[in-house]
Amino acid sequence: MPRAPVLRSAPACSPIFIACLAAFAGNASAETAATATDLDAVVVTATASERTLDTAPASMSVITREELAARPVYDLADALRGEPGIALTGIGLDRRGVSVRGMDPSYTMTLLDGMRVNSSIGAIAHSDYDLGWMPAAAIERVEIVRGPMSSLYGSEALGGVVNVISRSATDAWIGSLSANAGEPDAAGGARRQFGVYAGGPLVADTLGLSVFAERSRTDETPNPLEPGTSRREGRDADSGSATLSWTPNAFHRVDLRWLGGREERVRHGLQSGANPYIYASRDEVDRDQWALSHRGRWGWGESGLRASRASIDKINHRAPGTPTGPQHLRDEIVDGHVSKWFGGRHRVTAGGEWRRESLTDTLVNDAGQDEAVHRAVFLQDEIALADGWDLVLGDRYDRHRRFGGQHSPRAYWCTNAVTGCSRAVPAAASRRRRSSSSRPSTTPPSPGCLSCTAIPNCARR
């Protein structure tokens, strides 16, 4: 059976890629000459506030930039490979989703610098596009929370949270270049990747800039059982990011970020039926995000405020045959929180979120488009009971126009009071409910932490 022609557009150089190369060549010094404070032990995902890793009230791990640099990392899935409690599960078309503790990948929340990105897996079939938002060269570290975090992030975090922290501009210009290549034993599947980073001050101690760019390509892998078809699709991707950071003083920081990319995926499939034939399919995927954030330290406490707009556009081409219709997914999000200590033993954090999701797809309904608005508020109290003993209580209330309101309470108790043991009392209890069913957790949190999270009637659009 003859092989269908490959549908591929003419190659083009990415403007952001060229701009980043120029910035690197003109301003970057050797990265090895720069020194930085080691902040790997400080995490922010478990409580929306800074805590050391060994006192974080969650089962957590951190992947550092040094660990990522020691192995080829083409996307977020590669960065998470081999982490305890993390599995890369198939979601169709030989694509991968991130599963935490056996939960469906749709219940793994992905954050970029603490800001959610639109979860396309529930809106676009076989979507793994959430894994390619951040160029590998831009990642400073990855914080992983295993277990439900719905009391802070909503029902999408029922399995866990993956928070990708990007590199920030430093006091001196630094830069880096990275290149990876791999050739499997079998035919096809060869990979190439090239990344560049540059960052430094525009105005000393006040205004900084960091830029990233990456180009990667994976060759299509043929299927030996069905000659002319693909076992794994080919990919050609450009991605980039630029962040402007303003620090008017030591207590406030404002970040303006653009993040974007374009990806092309090619595969050959077999159309079944009375007259089977081989077809070529090409997907064009465009990602774009703008985000503005402020972090402040005040005399009374701390605050954070963020606004972002992200979109994913997918266009399918197919020959012969009829392509699927174009799909457009957009998220507009505003969220914020304030945190204050009371009496030296209570750190109380209160916050809220407003999110509007819109989807354009000929299959979603008769009108070909749908929209949903989510509103949520949360309250959390980190209680220092005694030296080495902590209790975290929290609750989030979500209001959905279609599904109504739901509470997501949480209680977490930790201790590191025993010498040589960061968690003293191995115990766990967890209750999770989705719709009208209930399934107990079979994977406990970190030893020494008692966790109880109730997620009543979590409804997803």
15-34+41-453 fold: Maltoporin; Chain A (2.40.170)
Question: Can you tell me the distance from the alpha carbon of 171 to that of 273, in angstroms, rounded to the nearest whole number?
Answer: 63
pLDDT tier, 241 (very low <50, low <70, confident <90, very high otherwise): very high
Residue 137 is predicted with a pLDDT of 78
Place of tokens 């954070």: 304
Query: Is residue 431 scored above 70 in pLDDT?
Result: no
Contact 77, 235 (CB under 8 A): no
pLDDT at 428: 31
Structure-token pair, residue 220: 């299509």
Distance separating alpha carbons of residues 92 and 350, to the nearest angstrom: 39
In whole angstroms, what is the distance from residue 324 CA to residue 338 CA?
45
pLDDT at 82: 85
What pLDDT shows up at residue 53? 86
Whether residue 358 has pLDDT greater than 80: yes
- Model pTM score: 0.78
Residue 260 or 425, more confident: 260
Q: What is the pLDDT of residues 222-235, one digit of tens each?
A: 988 889 999 888 99
Domain boundaries, the chain: 15-34+41-453
Q: What is the DSSP letter of 76?
A: H
Q: pLDDT by residue (tens digit) across 154-170?
A: 888 989 999 999 988 88
* pLDDT digits 0-9 by tens, 39-64: 346 899 999 888 888 888 888 899 99
Query: Euclidean distance between the first and final Cα of the chain, in Å?
Result: 42
Q: What whole-number distance in Å separates Cα of residue 380 and Cα of residue 409?
A: 10
pLDDT at 417: 54
